[in-house]
Amino acid sequence: MTVLTSTPQESLQQFFGFEDFLSGQEAVISAVLAGRSALAIFPTGQGKSLCYQLPALHLPGLTLVVSPLMALMKDQVDFLVGKGITAARLDSSLDFNQVTAVYDRLQQGDLKLLYVAPERFANERFVGLISRLQLSLLVIDEVHCISEWGHNFRPDYLKLAELAKTFAVPAVLGLTATATPKVAEDIRQSFAIAEADCIQTGFYRPNLALLFEPAGKPGNEPDKALLRHLTEKKDSRSIGPSIVYVTLQQTAMEVARMLAEAGFPARPYHAGLKDEQRQEVQDWFMDSDEAIVVATIAFGMGIDKSNIRAVYHYNLPKSLENYAQEIGRAGRDGLPSTCLMLGNGDDLHVLENFVYGDTPEPDHVQDFVDHILNQETVFSCSVYELSGLFDMRPLVVKTLLTYLELEGVLQSTGPFYSSYSFKPLRPSAEILPRFDADRQQFLKNLLSCAVKQKIWFTIDLDEAMQRTGSPRKRVIAALDYLEQQGDLVLKVSGARLGFRKPAHAQLDIGTLKQGLVERFAQRERSDLKRLGLVVELINHAGCKTEFLLRYFGEERGGCGHCSFCLQGENALIRSRGNDETIPEQQGLAEALQRLRRQYPQALSSPR
């Protein structure tokens, strides 16, 4: 691979068109180029990507970027390629030919940057290939997801620290916009990052007005308050692009319809829409100077729009981290922007139920472990089948399987599909003569396993392996090849995860089960505490900005541009159905009582 001999300052101008680094960028880049791991805690939109894109040009090997955001990966690869930088991505939107082309470029040493989702590391072929390459830097975007103390924990991230050791990568760069001091310490310990190489530029944004109008007095419900604010901005011709965050998909539909009926250009966005619908809304928003998107938190990650003039929270956010990240999308151009929190006490019940839903019952956890331990040495499972069998959300099932991997109980052999179907585009009489005698016989045996439905043919892979005398990989490779040649269209279903159980001389199953139960108990308690802190922020009779900054480890006096500093008074959060104020810790206290009943041993033990 070509390595630049220019200085980082010269590369900044030549490739990215900037004269100067933003705050914190140069310190992070210097650490990485010196071979030291680093953590960059920068606000949303403050140039985290440059901290690895520029060093990648100066490092001898591959820079591997782990990101959970498919849209962001595509946008950044397109940007880099447009700058003449060799970059690619591997994600679920690529077809077989595209994936193969990326693998070929990796083997030829033709890429400086590769973007992948964390799930990619469950693929044994990918891990094997990366372990053979010269890897100069491992970048982990949204690195707070690795911490179980964090607000957006993802089980796939837990394995990244071990993978960094497996790959013997010289340096790791973690990137996040939202990390409390405790989460930052967790990240530093996971990747052996020196305290001096933890670069935090500060969360304070002087152009953001933090306003709070939780539902209280009659006539001040979130919909009426939202309409009033938007109408005032429309009348003053200062409405600009806006995001309205809600908790539920149905609420996104209803609020968008309400705003549209009132004459505002509003559209909903949520995970329940088809991919093309979400892309259409996103493109519409990016191209407009007055669009209003009413969205769940599925919207906004990777959105690079500098002139968002307002962010409204129709419902309460689930944590201060979420709140900080979401308001951080406003006013990136430095111009004044509004961040208005509405919501009411009823939102707490919805958000608490989400937390409870992510906590499995202790006996279900124990039964789950027994079920896994009773499998064969090599086995596969379906996340959705296990979800139904043990009454757990799919994310909880994935988390449990990851915990068992980290405990050494399981080893992943990679994901696969249990069912393959194809639709012929050419008759076999045209396909077979292209191959030599041995391959013709192999394909005849393979295609003889196909059972015709109405249009599609299904193939039993176990039968195909037996008839062809070939391993599974060869059978699937043959089907993939025929699809590449335009001989058929392939369809897969029945996603499964493969595992191997290593031999254990002694396994204390009781301790293992109790440890898993305690782990989920701690997670639930942390999530409920974060929700309680949202109420504390609203009810805080003081500078709201100061309260928020203190949570992230910063100290400053009054801001002069939050609702308390501007008005000198505080609107307390109340339930929608009555005039009763919600105490800061009411929801948390009730939840902890439930936890003590459910997890007496977990909550009584010191942590």
Q: What is the pTM of this model?
A: 0.82
Q: What pLDDT score was predicted for residue 376?
A: 94
User: Between the CA of residue 384 and those of 345, 390, 397, 548, 593, what are the distances in Å?
Assistant: 33, 10, 8, 39, 31
Residue 496, pLDDT score: 86
How far is 311 from 297, CA to CA, in rounded Å? 12
Share of the chain above pLDDT 90, in %: 59
Q: Contact 269/299 with Cβ under 8 angstroms?
A: yes
Strand ranges (E), 390-466: 411-424, 450-452, 457-459
Mean pLDDT of the chain: 87
Residue length of the chain = 607
- Judged against a pLDDT cut of 80, whether residue 5 lies above it is answered with no
Share of the chain above pLDDT 70, in %: 92
pLDDT tens profile 381-397: 999 999 999 999 998 99
> Is pLDDT of 341 > 50?
yes
pLDDT at 222: 86
Average pLDDT, integer, range 452-471: 90
pLDDT tens figures, 57-104: 999 999 999 998 777 888 899 999 999 999 999 987 787 678 888 988
CA distance 252 to 155: 28
Q: What does the pLDDT look like over 142-175, one tens digit per residue? A: 999 888 777 777 878 888 888 888 888 999 999 9
pLDDT tier for residue 606 given thresholds of 50, 70 and 90: very low
Give the DSSP H/E element, type plus range, for residue 64: strand 62-66
Distance CA 602, CA 514 (A): 8
DSSP 21: P
| Alpha carbon distances (Å) from 31 to 115, 173, 396 | 21, 9, 37
Furthest-apart CA atoms within the chain: distance in Å: 87
Mean pLDDT of 494-506: 84
Sign of CA dihedral 399, 402, 404, 407: negative
Closest to 79 in 3D by CA, of 42, 46, 113? 113
SS3 assignment, position 2: coil
- Is the pLDDT confidence value at 280 over 70? yes
Per-residue DSSP letter, 562: B
Domain map of the chain by residue range? 8-200, 371-500
Of 241-250, 271-280, 546-555, the one with minimum mean pLDDT is: 271-280
Of 34-43, 166-175, 399-408, 413-422, the poorest mean pLDDT is in: 413-422
Residues 108-126 have a mean pLDDT of 87
* pLDDT score at 221: 79
For residue 362, give both structure tokens: 């202790």
Q: Write down the pLDDT at residue 121.
A: 85
Q: What is the pLDDT of residue 37?
A: 97
Question: Which of 73-87, 113-127, 446-460, 593-607 shows the lowest mean pLDDT across its residues?
Answer: 593-607
Residue with tokens 């008074």: 569
Q: Are 327 and 210 in contact (CB under 8 A)?
A: yes
- Burial grade of 260 (CB within 10 A; 0-12, 13-18, 19 or more): middle
- The helix/strand/coil state of 257 is helix
Looking at residue 24, its pLDDT comes to 94
What is the structure's pLDDT at 573? 83
Q: Tens of pLDDT along 205-237?
A: 999 999 999 975 444 578 899 999 999 988 888
| CA 143/CA 171 separation, integer angstroms | 15
State the CB neighbour count (10 A cutoff) for residue 357: 12
Q: How far apart are CA 4 and CA 342, in angstroms?
A: 51
pLDDT range class, residue 582, cuts 50, 70, 90: low
In this predicted model, which residue has the larger pLDDT, 319 or 219?
Answer: 319
| Pairing verdict, β 208-212 and 172-176 | unpaired
Return the CATH architecture of domain 8-200. Answer: 3-Layer(aba) Sandwich (3.40)
**Per-residue confidence at 541, pLDDT binned at 50, 70, 90?**
very high
Q: What residues contact 466, with CB distance under 8 A and at least 6 apart?
A: none
Q: Give residue 286's pLDDT.
A: 92
